[in-house]
Amino acid sequence: MGNKRAERRRFIRFGFNTKVKFRFFSQTREDEHFKGKSKNISADGVCVVAENDIPRDKNVALDISLPGRKRPVSVHGRVAWSQKIKNADKRAPDHYEIGIKLYTTDRDDENTLLRYYCEYMVDNLSQYLHI
């Protein structure tokens, strides 16, 4: 019997490569933002790849760029996990994959993100249902 870790995700994750800017709640200056790229997204979480590590349980504000929108959606989240990804090229910096559980305070941005997720899910559902 394999020693596989149980899948705890409640929602399907989709590959999602877009710009993400985030900051700790206590930071307000523009130069205190961190930048990264999303790796995947679900209805309640996002995985971000960044050069900066973020400690578990930190609350962050995220600006997520969505295709076809001029303004990013702004959501809040809590860092659920973080893992270092070693770069094969020793001259390049290591990166971190950071799992962020999303919650939000702005209903319009939350609805926009969920609408995008649902439309993406419908468009790509066949690959997850093996049809």
- CATH classification at residue 59: 2.40.10.220
In a domain, residue 88? The reply is yes
Range of the domain at 62: 14-129
Which residue, 11, 7, 18, 13, is CA-closest to 72?
18
Q: Is the pTM of this model over 0.85?
A: no
**Does residue 125 sit within a domain?**
yes
Q: What is the pLDDT of residues 33-73, one digit of tens each?
A: 788 999 998 888 899 999 888 889 999 999 999 888 889 98
Decide if pLDDT at 81 tops 50.
yes
Rounded Cα distance between 95 and 39, Å, is 12
* Domain-embedded: residue 28: yes
54, amino acid identity: I
CA 6 from chain center: how many Å?
Answer: 21
- The pLDDT, as a whole number, for residue 82 is 94
Give the number of domains in the chain.
1
Helix (H) or strand (E) holding 40, with range, is strand 34-41
Q: Which helix (H) or strand (E) holds 121?
A: helix 107-129
- β-bridge mates for residue 112, sequence order: none
